[in-house]
Amino acid sequence: MAKSLRKKGNQPHVPNGRTREAVRQGCAKGMTQDEIASFMGITDRTLRKYYKIELREGKYSSILKVADKLFDIAMDTDPKTISQQLAASIFILKTQGGWREVNRTEITGKDGGAIQIEASRAVLDPRDMSPEAREEFRALLEGKMAEIEQDEAIDGEYEEVEDDDGEEE
- Residue 164 is assigned to a structural domain of this protein: no
User: Is 9 part of a structural domain of the chain?
Assistant: no
Q: Does 60 map to a domain?
A: yes
Distances (CA, A) of 63 to 13, 30, 67, 96, 168: 29, 10, 6, 7, 65
| Local confidence pLDDT in tens for the 169 residues of the chain | 444 444 555 678 999 999 999 999 999 998 999 999 999 999 999 999 999 999 999 989 988 888 888 777 767 777 777 787 788 788 878 887 888 888 888 888 888 888 888 887 878 787 888 999 889 988 988 988 888 888 776 655 555 555 555 555 4
Report which DSSP code applies to 168: B
Spatial separation of the C-alpha atoms in residues 46 and 63, rounded to whole Å: 24
Q: In this structure, are 83 and 145 located in the same domain?
A: no
Q: Are 24 and 83 contained in the same domain?
A: yes
Q: Are 92 and 130 found together in one domain?
A: no
User: CA-CA distance, 162 to 8, in Å (whole number)?
Assistant: 88
The whole-model pTM stands at 0.45
Residue 105 lies in a domain: no
Q: For the chain, how many structural domains are there in total?
A: 2
Check whether residue 90 and residue 23 sit in a common domain: yes
Quote the domain boundaries for residue 142.
Answer: 126-155
Examine the domain organization and report whether 23 and 80 are in the same domain.
Answer: yes
Residues 83, 131 within the same domain: no
